Amino acid sequence: MRRYKAHQFIFQEGEQPQGIFILCVGDVKMTKTDDRGRELTLMYLSCGDLVGEIPFLGGEPYCASAETLRESVLCFLPRELVEHFSANEPEFSRRLVRRVSRFVCKTMDRAFGFAFRGADSRLASFLLSLKTPPADAVALPCHGKYDYSRREIAQNLGLSPETVIRALSSFQSRGLIRISGKSIEVRDRPGLETVAAEH
C-alpha cells in the first residue's frame, strides 16, 4: 500500500511501468502535456479503478501522467504478482481484458468528439455527465470529483479557458444553466442535451 499527498505524481509520462496500481482511497487524474506545456486531462479515476495497466500490459513506457487530486492510497501490484495472477487466476485476466476494451472504446468516443464536435457540444456533454455530490461526500473515502475550475474544464475538453467561459455565459443567457459563483446548475436539461447532440 502506498500513500500519496494531494497533487503528487504516481508516475509520469515516459517512465517505465513496473506493475499495476489499484486506487483504494482518493481520486486521480490522467494527463498528457505537450512540449509547449499545454495539458489535456484524459480521465479521472476513483476507488476501485486500475491505474497504469495498459502501458504495463503492452510493455511500453507510460503514455500519460497520473496525479492525485487529494490524499490517496494505492495498492501496487508488482510485475511478478501480476504474472502470477494471470497464470493462476483466469478471471483476473478476463477482467483486465474487459477493462482495456472499455478504455479503448471510451478513447475512440473521445477522439470522435474532438474531431467532429464543436466547443458548445463538448461542454454541454461534460456538464450533463456531472453528478451531484452526495450530502456525505466529504466523509467518503471515494467520492469522485464534483468540483471543477474553468481551467480544469478546459483541460478536460481540449479547449481554452476563454472558450469555456464564453460558452458558459452563452448557456446561461439561453437559460440552459445558472451560474452562481463557482457553481453551475443545469436548468434546462433537454435543451442542453440538444446542444450536446450537435456536430
| Nearest partner of 56 among 9, 2, 99, judged by Cα | 99
Identify whether the C-beta of residue 14 lies closer than 8 Å to the C-beta of residue 61: yes
Q: Can you give the pLDDT at residue 131?
A: 63
User: pLDDT tens across 119-152, in order?
Assistant: 999 999 888 887 665 554 444 445 455 567 888 8
Give pTM, 2 decimals: 0.70
Query: pLDDT below 50 — which residues of the chain?
Result: 136-141, 143
CA dist 194 → 50, 155, 189 (Å): 34, 23, 9
Residue whose C-alpha cell is 510493455: 59
Query: Which grid coordinates are listed for 77?
Result: 501490484
Q: Can you give the pLDDT at residue 99?
A: 86
Under CATH, what is the fold of the domain 2-115? Jelly Rolls (2.60.120)
**CATH code, 118-196:** 1.10.10.10
Q: Can you give the pLDDT at residue 146?
A: 55
The residues spanned by each domain of the chain are 2-115, 118-196
**Fold: same for 2-115 and 118-196:** no
